[in-house]
């Protein structure tokens, strides 16, 4: 068996560290392009406000052109569908945020491991 020299070990460690650094930088670059949590929450909140405004508008002015019962029934059905869609979107966004948080935690752990002082 051939003995591994200190220089070979140092070279392998340097190559591994370079690969880890490149992977970390790539992951951080991807994360930087994602919208912030507050942006996503604002978008979902805006959707709820829009649905509420649409419902109020239809209920307020729908009686002028259509029979009251048909107008309210249609608007309630539309509101119900929009509410379901918003709930699904919120669930997807929540799942994405959870995945991103897990990925960030792993990246932070890896970065912390790399920054520990060498003995």
Which pLDDT tens digit goes with each residue over 78-110? 888 999 999 999 999 999 999 999 999 888 888
Report the chain's C-alpha Rg in angstroms. Answer: 27
Judged against a pLDDT cut of 90, whether residue 18 lies above it is answered with yes
Domain borders along the chain are: 1-33, 35-115
* Span 31-70, pLDDT tens digits: 877 777 888 888 899 999 999 999 888 877 766 665 555 5
Contact 114, 17 (CB under 8 A): yes
User: What's the CA gap between 5 and 3, in Å, rounded?
Assistant: 6
In this prediction, residue 76 has a pLDDT band, given cuts at 50, 70 and 90, of confident
Check residue 87 and give its pLDDT: 92
pLDDT at 88 (0 to 100): 92
Query: Residue with structure tokens 């929540």?
Result: 94
| Helix, coil or strand: residue 60 | helix
DSSP summary character for residue 67:
-
CB 85 within 8 A of CB 5: no
């Amino acid at each position: 068996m051939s003995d591994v020299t200190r220089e070979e070990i140092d070279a392998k460690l340097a190559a591994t560290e370079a690969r880890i650094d490149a992977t970390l930088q790539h992951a951080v670059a991807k994360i930087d392009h994602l919208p912030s949590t507050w942006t996503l929450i604002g978008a979902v909140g805006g959707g709820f406000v829009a649905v509420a405004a649409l419902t109020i508008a239809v209920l307020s002015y729908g009686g002028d052109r259509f029979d009251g019962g048909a107008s309210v029934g249609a608007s309630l059905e539309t509101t119900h569908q929009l509410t379901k869609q918003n709930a699904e979107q919120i669930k997807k966004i929540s799942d994405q945020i959870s995945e991103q948080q897990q990925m960030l935690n792993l990246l932070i752990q890896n970065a912390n491991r790399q920054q520990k002082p060498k003995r």
